[in-house]
Chains A and B, each alone.
Chain A
């Protein structure tokens, strides 16, 4: 009768986080009966949601020096994003931690390193820490880095790895959509379908809407893209970029 594997307590939290509904990730994070590891992961996701919402200071204040390594890494990311002027010192301590054999291999730390170096546009350095993979998140980040480097061939390899681990994982699907968009052509439609699947299955988020809109734009369907983006705009305010030239495309 009982299912083979235990139910995944953090499932909804992760989905919310990956799909960009950060507020509901934060709101629904109060989960009972978590193992210590799960609790740390939960905290990471919650704080990263706060970061995604721009509440850097809150994260910096709440994570104290006794917290676990992953949390420290998250705090580092918050610091990096909060003080663009003082990023050198953040990067310095990041490098220092990465060099520490005790914690240097921590997945979250490596993930944060990848993100920070992506901001620095130092993709080579980012890959140095992330390419080994280990978690779905790291793989997904790799895919994105490769896309940024315009190396869709490498991105595809990463995606293959993810698909072998779990083809139906949300991140696998997302990464697949990113790659499809990057390579273009008939793949655009597949990307659209992936976002469409998400929108059927989960509440609409800005991220999904934006994804769909981008697909629509690539397919030359600017009217639909505009509706989607306007909807996204109601939900979140981080899609300004696309909005601008949609209006260009439509009105000129």
Chain B
């Protein structure tokens, strides 16, 4: 039993739950009816009008009403909103035992000691039926929840079921009611409306309670014979089914549980008993020391019960409703019924993972209590209270998630809590010995460790650590070092929620949340009046938690607030952005979208992220008093200023933040004295004299104004003030102003005018205005006052002010961030990628048909120079076998040592992985990767006829280093080199070697090819040449998987070869400025290389221009024709070609004879660049297939720079699929 709420009062005889709100009514033996909020634990109201004990009380389903019946024979109907009794139903002649509203009709049923049951219509406030038949006190009567039945129990040892169907028909018209009222007396005994359907006899003593089952045709009753009886009924009869024995005294009340198959009874033997409804065995007994139980109530919706006893009542639950769950990354595991289920936060889908043990029904509260999950091993620990605390370990089969229909035999053990402490280790608490057992996944004890404090539960606290909970404190304990890492006094901790980064932890107690860092250093504590239920950390380090009825947040500094209210309790599993994922009490996953603006805003303020603050101020509608108050309280009045429309608040905030401009504006709007005054004060504080003056002027505060002028030294205005005072006839003001001005004549005049002649006289004479003094003396006559003796008079003159007019130096007011910051929202300067391709940068040489002489050479020389340098580089560093050191592994080990050791025979060294690679492979690249360069070279020589390895040297080295990784293992010990293999997969079995990982792959070449094309198009021939050559150089060391890819590689060789040849010729042509014939020839040959269409066009255009410049119109015309045949997209190209063609048609001759016959198909020799027409003899390169004139046989191929022309070779081998 989980007690939720308890009261102390007089004996509780009646109880009723409200159907929607967390309220309960308790009627007391003292005559008082109490209305409690059992969730908040507060007494909402009390109703004290009955005289003597109130035994029955009941809430109406939907109206704000309840009914009560007491020993004063009265039935009272109350409106709890109006806090008063509406009316009283009179009629019973003895104590009233129970009262109940009908669920839909406006009826009340009441049971009384006068041996009758009465049904009342509370709308017409009349008794509509009297049910007679019991011949002793009727202890209880209640309506069936659906059918037209009433069940009653009486001390006459019977339970009766009444059919009230006829009553329903009769009352269909309200007129009937009044009609029947007259008939009432005749019906009083042996009424015809309601008839007894069944009389259930079986109890040996008086029956105290009888109740219907909510859905099944069952009745349960409890009697003074200490028995609980179960009855079944059908349409025609009712019979006893079973008897539940166990109570030691009168059974006072018994009920079916609304949702579970259990029966709850209580008794004067001071116990509540829970029975299994099917097996009819006792499940649990709860005892109280001194209090007899009198009444039970079940909540129709929520899973709560209540029981009234001699000194109060208790509201309780039978079973925990929190589903056990564990969160790991984006997945949630939770127990529901007899399944372990899995929920994916990303896809928001759920599935069954496992079937777990069926929760034993022998006792209650045996369902899983906590879950712990190890993501890497996919294992789950489920703890429950079975056998006084035990755990079960399941491993979820990886491929099985989503099906989960297999029942797995769990590994079990005793222990009150068990959690994973590492990937494959879990800790089990052994409370008896106050130690933890560390176990592995085979459920074997690996280690035992005593605990530093008496621990009753353990929680996860990072790998290898435990958070131990004792009664009033928590401790973080390092299992390996056996050290206490942190220690904190807290209220009894129920749940522990770690932040995602494991840096902070929230310790949830019943009514408090303590947030600490990972060493349990206290950060803040929150107190809640309502029970704290669950929580999770959001991505920003805000703790989102739930109480019974709220979702709330807690900022790192301990500020908290409500996000929204909840109808039913939920258990937060994860917070992601605005979405709160939670489980409800039925184990359903829900998502709640919350408005995160408020706490994000506060968090930004807290973290001083003012840019975010500003953008939030602009974009969202987070206004409201609370927010302003918060900002003021936190010292951000200037921020609050941005929210407020109300001028008064605005004024106040402006003053607070010292923003005088806004304050002035607001003051103008408000325009009342008080605000002007306060503005003046603030302006004065800041030294803004202008504003001060303005404020004083607005309030007509002349005295202050005068004083301000005095201080400012503004004599001009001061004398104006004097005049104003004069106009206003304000003598005192006049005098003050005169005094401030130091104007004695004026003062004397004022005094004189005011009739203070003696004062005027003294003033005048003291200050030496003798003529005036004499005049006054004459006026005064005899009353001339004596001048003070022995005092040196001095002229009172105001001091000269330091600054005249204007403002004082102003106080610096904090402005900064918020005023300026508003505008500086980051402008993402996106770097526009420049349109790169400008076709023909160096193809240059625009055709100029008119000015044929204008030969342009461009900057060819520069490019050529570059090319030469590159060539030089390539030449250096010839292949030098001696440079290569074989890797140490290949060294033959010294075997000699073995013999010396007599006992221990050292094993012979095994075979290095690289050697395995070599044995398996005939691919040159893999041999190179294994470091076996000589065999790699031999292979290449045999397969491709390669003799020049210089260009390959660096690639060999790359391959070798690229296939090794180095593991620094033990300190100060040589590193271990490990071979990296290709095509790793999770399922690969160990000790089986795959071929080496290679640094070169086909896709890299593809990219190079594209780069080469681009360079060619842009006219960067040297660059293009370099790329194509490097493709040719890399291909021998490429390894691909499929046959198809092999063909692609072969194709690539041809493409690269054509380009290399073409570009070589083009570069050569540019070299030969002084040989126009050869230039034309080379340009012509270039057009016969197999190029991409745009490149071909450019080559054709090039050749066309060159030839037309040399006046070889016929040839040029041919090029132009070919160019036009390609349908050039570039209009300029086409135009130029047409012009050339026209010119050529006028003059179909060639100025010079070229070695070029475009009608006859030919290939170009790779070394001499002469055409080899079809049928002529040639030799070719075994690798790149470039053709050569026969004289080149035996030379190094000038295109690929690798193979020997005409050498024998078996062909390219670049895939294991070729060997198979």
Contact = CB atoms under 8 A, between A and B. Distances in A.
A98 interface: no
Given A123-B906, A128-B904, A218 B897 contact: no
Nearest to A81: B972
B1050 to A, nearest CB: 21
Contacts of B888: 121
Interface string B959-977: 0011011111111111110
A189 B423 CA distance: 13
Contacts of A185: 984, 988-992
A221 B983 CA distance: 11
A194 to B, nearest CB: 9
Interface in A104-160: 115, 118-119, 121-125, 127-128, 131-132, 140-141, 144, 146-154
A184 B153 CA distance: 79
A77 B970 CA distance: 14
30 contacts: A4-B435, A11-B483, A48-B971, A51-B971, A123-B893, A124-B901, A128-B897, A141-B970, A144-B970, A151-B907, A151-B909, A152-B991, A154-B907, A167-B446, A185-B991, A188-B984, A197-B423, A201-B462, A201-B464, A206-B968, A207-B968, A210-B968, A211-B968, A213-B965, A214-B965, A214-B967, A220-B983, A245-B958, A248-B961, A249-B997
A221 B913 CA distance: 20
Contact of A7 (B483, B980, B997): B483
Given A214-B978, A218-B980, A4 B966 contact: no
A140 B970 contact: yes
Interface string A8-24: 10011000011010100
A174 B958 contact: no
A42 to B, nearest CB: 15
A220 B991 CA distance: 17
A242 interface: yes
A72 B894 CA distance: 29
Interface stretch (B447-455, B696-704, B768-776, B868-876): B447-455
Interface string B989-1023: 11111100101100010000000000000000000
Contacts, number: 204
A180 B1000 CA distance: 27
Interface in B604-643: none
Contact of A128 (B422, B893, B901, B994): B901
B885 to A, nearest CB: 14
Contacts of B481: 7-8, 11-12
Contacts of B202: none
B981 A184 contact: yes
Contacts of B988: 184-186
B853 interface: no
A201 to B, nearest CB: 4
Given A11-B480, A217-B965, 20 more contacts: A18-B971, A124-B895, A128-B897, A128-B906, A149-B893, A150-B910, A150-B913, A181-B978, A182-B978, A185-B984, A186-B989, A188-B984, A193-B376, A206-B968, A207-B968, A210-B968, A211-B967, A218-B980, A220-B983, A248-B962
Contact of A219 (B895, B961, B984, B990): B984
Interface string A195-223: 00100110000110011011001111000
Nearest to A221: B984
Interface in A1-39: 1-5, 7-8, 11-12, 17-18, 20, 22
B976 A148 contact: yes
A102 interface: no
A252 interface: yes
A214 to B, nearest CB: 5
Interface residues of B, number: 80
Interface in B566-582: none
Nearest to B994: A184
Contacts of A193: 376, 423
A10 B893 CA distance: 39
Contacts of B448: 4
A244 B999 CA distance: 12
B753 interface: no
- The B contact surface, by secondary structure, is loop
B463 A200 contact: yes
Given A150-B912, A197-B463, A182 B965 contact: no
Interface of A: 1-5, 7-8, 11-12, 17-18, 20, 22, 48-49, 51-52, 77, 81, 115, 118-119, 121-125, 127-128, 131-132, 140-141, 144, 146-154, 167-168, 174, 178, 180-189, 193, 197, 200-201, 206-207, 210-211, 213-214, 217-220, 238-239, 241-242, 244-245, 248-249, 252
Highest count of chain B CB atoms <10 Å: which of A81, A124, A151: A124
Contacts of B891: 121
A200 B999 contact: no
Highest count of chain A CB atoms <10 Å: which of B900, B969, B973, B976: B969
B796 to A, nearest CB: 77
B123 interface: no
A25 B310 CA distance: 68
Contacts of A188: 984
Contacts of A248: 958, 961-962, 999
A50 to B, nearest CB: 10
A119 B972 CA distance: 10
A152 B425 CA distance: 26
B774 to A, nearest CB: 99
Interface string B394-407: 00000000000000
Contacts of B906: 123-124, 127-128, 131
Contacts of B1075: none
A141 B898 contact: no
B103 interface: no
A18 B480 CA distance: 15
Given A4-B449, A168-B480, A127 B993 contact: no
Contact of B898 (A18, A124, A151): A124
Interface of B: 376, 422-423, 425, 434-435, 438, 440, 446-454, 462-464, 480-483, 502, 888-889, 891, 893-898, 900-901, 904, 906-913, 958, 961-962, 964-976, 978, 980-984, 986-994, 997, 999-1000, 1004
A141 B446 CA distance: 24
B325 to A, nearest CB: 22
A2 B450 contact: yes
Nearest to A173: B422
A146 B999 CA distance: 28
B976 A182 contact: yes
B900 A244 contact: no
Nearest to B978: A181
B889 to A, nearest CB: 8
A147 B907 CA distance: 12
Contact of B909 (A5, A81, A144, A149): A149
Contact of A146 (B422, B502, B907, B989): B907
B86 to A, nearest CB: 65
Contact of A152 (B463, B910, B973): B910
Contact of B974 (A118, A152, A238): A118
Contact of A144 (B480, B889, B973): B973
B613 to A, nearest CB: 33
Contact of B972 (A11, A48, A131, A200): A48
A131 B904 contact: yes
B987 A186 contact: yes
B468 to A, nearest CB: 12
A237 to B, nearest CB: 12
A81 to B, nearest CB: 7
B962 A4 contact: no
A186 B907 contact: no
Nearest to B464: A201
A217 B980 contact: yes
Contacts of B453: 1
Contacts of A220: 982-984, 997
Contacts of A141: 970, 973
A89 to B, nearest CB: 19
